[in-house]
Structure 1
Amino acid sequence: MNQKRIQLIDGMRGLSLFGILLANLLIFQYGMWGKEELDLTGINQGAHFFTKVFIEGSFMPIFTFLFGYSMIKMAEGLRQRGLKVKRYFARRFLLLAVIGWAHATFLWEGDILLFYGLMGFFLLLFVNRKTKTILVWAILLTVLTTSFMLIGAGFSGESAPEEEFMASPAYIKKTNDVYANGTYSEIKHHRNNADPFENMPDALVIVMLVLAPIATAPLFLFGMYAARINFFSNPVQEKKLYRIGTVILVPIGIAMKAIFELAPSTGWTDFLIGAGAPLLAVGYIFAFAWLYTKFMESVAMRAFESVGKLSLTNYMMQTVICTTIFYGYGLGLFGKLGTAGGLLLGLGVFVLQCTASSFYLKRFQRGPLEFILRMWTNFSWNGQVKPKKDKKKKDIEAHAM
């Protein structure tokens, strides 16, 4: 059953990468801030509504949950070998942050790896804590985050000051031109030097940076808690729980996000999107697990698992493929494909990744970036965890006798 549990988690990771790709296509096509200023009609308007309600903001939290889950499972494996957990994680998170920095600097502004690497150091505070302690902190931070959102909604009242949180029109116009027509050097310079927050007070930027880790911490911790209690280790036996979670959370999350998109923007509708997106993410986790119990041997599930096993490599390849398609130094389709075309492209790219990942795993055990990360984490050329020296010495002595 342990193998099935691992396959289920890999499948969920593949699912999250699919949703992340579809959501990120809005950024690839229109820029981080330009995607909020679209004027669409017809099928593109419908595709945009679908993306906003069913996809955007509800697949990254799945990846967040799985990050915490995998962290605990890795820690358990290290402890079984008698190794110091935090030392290995510190190296792992350092390299992850470096990869994220390089990704954001040289390829694309939508990177998440730098944030995940830095959050990993925060999560080290919990890796050796009791299971109950992790759950209590997850709940406390959820309550704290929800309280902040409710207070913000109350103060905003009927008019949410959206303009304070948006990039300036001049920045968006310049970005559209540079990304569509610029060379690699021009795009890189604009990405790393232009200031999208010239209309935003410095104090507000600082507050957002401080609150971001607090707002995302609960799902990391709930993932750690789920791993501690071995949730998802017996999919067939847990099927009823998956079904209940799906039936309750998916409709609620969709309804909350749909109201945000359809109703006039106020502080209270902002609360709906802030709460609805992670609720839908958890609903998707249960839904995928439920479907997994029915179709675990299907081609589709195997495809999700293959992509999930190569998650770091596939995430980076999504950036390489999409920036090449949309940016001026590639095909130059920035802002030209439409949101409906973007969804179709995303589906095509993901099918390509499923196929390539399946073929790759028939010959290799790990992806290239996954292997480099393991080499650095374990300080070994073959990527394997080195046995503890005193244990290795005892084994040699035992064989000698």
Structure 2
Amino acid sequence: MAEEQDRTESAPSFTPIPPEERNPLLDVLRGFALFGILVMNMPSFGLPDGIGALDEHYFPRWYDRAAETVASILFAGKANSIFSFLFGLGLTIQMQRAEASGARLTPLYLRRVAVLFLIGAAHAILLWNGDVLHTYAILGLLLLALRRASDRLVLGLIVFALVAPSLRSVLGLLLHEAPPYPRSYWVAQAHEHMRIFSTGTYVEQIAARLDNYAIGYGMIRRGHGMIWWYFSVSITMLLGFYAGRKRLLEDIAGNLPRVRKILWTCMGLGIAASVGFSLLIAFQPMPPPGGPTWRGFLTGLLFKVNRPLLCVAYIAAIALLLQTERGKRVLLVLASPGRMPLTNYLTQSLIATTLFYSYGFAWFGKVGPLAGIGLAVVIFTVQVFWSRFWLARFRYGPLEWLWRAATYGKLPSMRLVQAPAPALPRATTPGS
């Protein structure tokens, strides 16, 4: 029994990979995704939900609208799609390492996603309502259920998750379906949230976040709300799951022609779709409660298509750049924050909400898109240096360490073990 427990505790499926065995591509991708997520989350940190219903051009100056459009083309849906891709890929790595060591995957994996769900729920309720961690935890159960499924079934689910939202939209258009809530509801909510987060109490802010989740999850029974967010995330998570099964990221140097073909195909189609939906939003804004329209359907369709295409294109581009010396010098800067993604993701929320909310600097509603991008660059730059400083001394990020401790029920070793300095040769004198 003790031998079996020791084998499970030391199973590589859940132990951190030694630095010399880490795939730098995965760390760089996580770091890149962290930056893109921060850029795209800035408007959500600093403005209320439904701001489009309140004012279609809340920051009307040309440079703010241009910054918003550029950020949308480059990062909207792409940064979080890379994160979800890596989450799916991570499960296959855990499965492969567990199989190689003879460890049982399921019990520890279930505890791991349960802890992640609790962390995400706390983040969503206590700090910010844009949390994605609880979504990953829930969809992680789907991945676990599919671990022995055929490749054909996995690919079929990807196609279904891509097509189903568009079919639902067409049905709403054909039935002239009324929106779940009238525009006046969103206008009133935007006004109220502007007050709550700029001057209100912390208790009011928690209540507002709970109300947002009640609305988002409550609309599922009518075929709206959070259900389609789960479909969107599952597409790239399943793509990562499939890529991990096929070990597609393990030998980039040996598959350069294929990777280049994937890059240019996905990049061309993805950029076209991304520019299309970004321009539709920029030059003909659509209020959230506007009801189904064919223009809205086209905007949504282009977004759904661009998300997985550019996710794959970005991954291929970064993989190719890391094959060059210049690319390594530039991109490996992202590896340190990418090695502690949970800590950096939650720290971004802590910093941003402190800057924007009433209990901090109360910048809510005052920071436009261009300034928001600049703020994101500053915050992420600090995280790069902070991560390098921390990882030079410790094996895990602070929250990664807590996540692992809660998963195993024991405190893992935190500090890096420094190799003893070699003994200096004893000085000798002539004739000794």
**Is this a same-fold pair by TM over 0.5?**
yes
Partner of 1:30: 47
C-alpha contact 2:165 2:228 (8 A) present in aligned 1? no
Which has more radius of gyration?
A: 2
- Please identify, of 311-320 and 46-55, the stretch whose mean Cα deviation from structure 2 is larger: 46-55
Which of 157, 162, 173 does residue 191 from structure 2 map onto? 173
Q: Tell me, which stretches of 5 or more residues in structure 2 are unaligned?
A: 1-18, 285-294, 415-432
C-alpha contact 2:201 2:359 (8 A) present in aligned 1? yes
TM-score (norm 2): 0.79
C-alpha contact 2:162 2:231 (8 A) present in aligned 1? no
In 2: Cα distance, 1:197 partner to 1:380 partner: 38
Partner of 1:228: 245
Which of 136, 141, 144 does residue 160 from structure 2 map onto? 144
Distance change in 2, residues 1:35/1:157 (3 Å): closer
Deviation for aligned residue 1:245: 2.1
C-alpha contact 1:62 1:281 (8 A) present in aligned 2? yes
Distance change in 2, residues 1:149/1:251 (3 Å): same
SS at match of 1:80: helix
Which of 73, 91, 110 does residue 90 from structure 1 map onto? 110
Count of aligned residue pairs for this structure pair = 377
In 2: Cα distance, 1:72 partner to 1:202 partner: 30
Partner of 1:398: none
Which of 29, 40, 45 does residue 65 from structure 2 map onto? 45
Q: Tell me, which stretches of 5 or more residues in structure 1 are unaligned?
A: 385-401
Which of 352, 355, 366 does residue 385 from structure 2 map onto? 355
Deviation for aligned residue 1:16: 0.8
Distance change in 2, residues 1:207/1:189 (3 Å): closer
Which of 323, 337, 362 does residue 307 from structure 1 map onto? 337
Partner of 2:398: 368
In 2: Cα distance, 1:237 partner to 1:35 partner: 48
- Does residue 59 (structure 1) correspond to residue 76 (structure 2)? The answer is no
C-alpha contact 2:161 2:234 (8 A) present in aligned 1? no
Deviation for aligned residue 1:299: 4.3
Distance change in 2, residues 1:26/1:315 (3 Å): same
Q: What does 1:1-400 align with in structure 2 at a 5 Å threshold? A: 6-34=23-51, 37-39=55-57, 40-127=60-147, 129=148, 133=150, 135-155=151-171, 164=180, 168-193=186-211, 197=215, 203-204=221-222, 207-263=224-280, 265-295=295-325, 298-382=328-412
Post-superposition Cα deviations, 1:230-269, rounded to whole Å, max 9, x if no partner, equal 2221232233333222222123212112222334633233
Sequence identity percentage: 27
Query: Which AA in structure 1 matches 2:360?
Result: G
Distance change in 2, residues 1:158/1:236 (3 Å): same
In 1: Cα distance, 2:22 partner to 2:255 partner: 11
C-alpha contact 2:273 2:303 (8 A) present in aligned 1? yes
Post-superposition Cα deviations, 1:253-312, rounded to whole Å, max 9, x if no partner, equal 121122223346332332111211221122111111121212477443222111110000
Deviation for aligned residue 1:182: 2.1
Deviation for aligned residue 1:146: 3.3
Query: Which AA in structure 1 matches 2:342?
Result: L
Query: Which AA in structure 1 matches 2:356?
Result: F
In 2: Cα distance, 1:255 partner to 1:160 partner: 29
In 1: Cα distance, 2:321 partner to 2:178 partner: 39
Distance change in 2, residues 1:254/1:212 (3 Å): same
In 1: Cα distance, 2:134 partner to 2:212 partner: 20
C-alpha contact 1:99 1:113 (8 A) present in aligned 2? yes
C-alpha contact 1:260 1:272 (8 A) present in aligned 2? yes
Query: Which AA in structure 2 matches 1:118?
Result: I
In 1: Cα distance, 2:265 partner to 2:44 partner: 31
Query: Which AA in structure 2 matches 1:30?
Result: L
SS at match of 1:168: helix
C-alpha contact 2:81 2:308 (8 A) present in aligned 1? yes
- Aligned residues: CA RMSD: 2.8
In 1: Cα distance, 2:96 partner to 2:205 partner: 44
In 2: Cα distance, 1:164 partner to 1:54 partner: 31
- Please identify, of 231-240 and 322-331, the stretch whose mean Cα deviation from structure 2 is larger: 231-240
TM-score (norm 1): 0.85
Query: Which AA in structure 1 matches 2:301?
Result: F
SS at match of 1:346: helix
Post-superposition Cα deviations, 1:167-193, rounded to whole Å, max 9, x if no partner, equal 611001111121112232332232224
Distance change in 2, residues 1:202/1:147 (3 Å): closer
